[in-house]
Amino acid sequence: MILDRSEVAQRSRAGDRYAFNYDQAKADLARMSRGISQYLSPSRAQPRDASQLSGAYQVDQRGKQE
């Protein structure tokens, strides 16, 4: 997946103040994929998951401890 390659490239760039939140982006993409699959082949009519996608993928690196 392109996010995996980008995440590896970002790890090699130390010192950036902000970083992309790859875990949140992957979780949102997985949720969208599940929603599309359920829409295309529902087993029966069910209510949709009403939780919202995060949409926030920027992480402030200043407070990060390693």
| Whether the predicted pLDDT of 65 surpasses 70 | no
Query: Is the pTM of the predicted complex or chain greater than 0.75?
Result: no
Sequence-separated (6 or more) residues with CB below 8 Å from residue 3: 22, 25, 26, 29
Task: Report residue 54's pLDDT band, with 50, 70 and 90 as the boundaries.
Answer: confident
| Strand (E) or helix (H) holding 34 | helix 22-40
The 10s digit of each residue's pLDDT in 1-53 is 788 888 888 777 767 778 888 899 999 999 999 989 888 886 776 677 767 87
Give the pLDDT of residue 33: 94
In 3-state terms, what secondary structure has residue 60?
strand
**Which amino acid is residue 5, in one-letter code?**
R
Give the pLDDT of residue 29: 93
Give the pLDDT of residue 66: 47
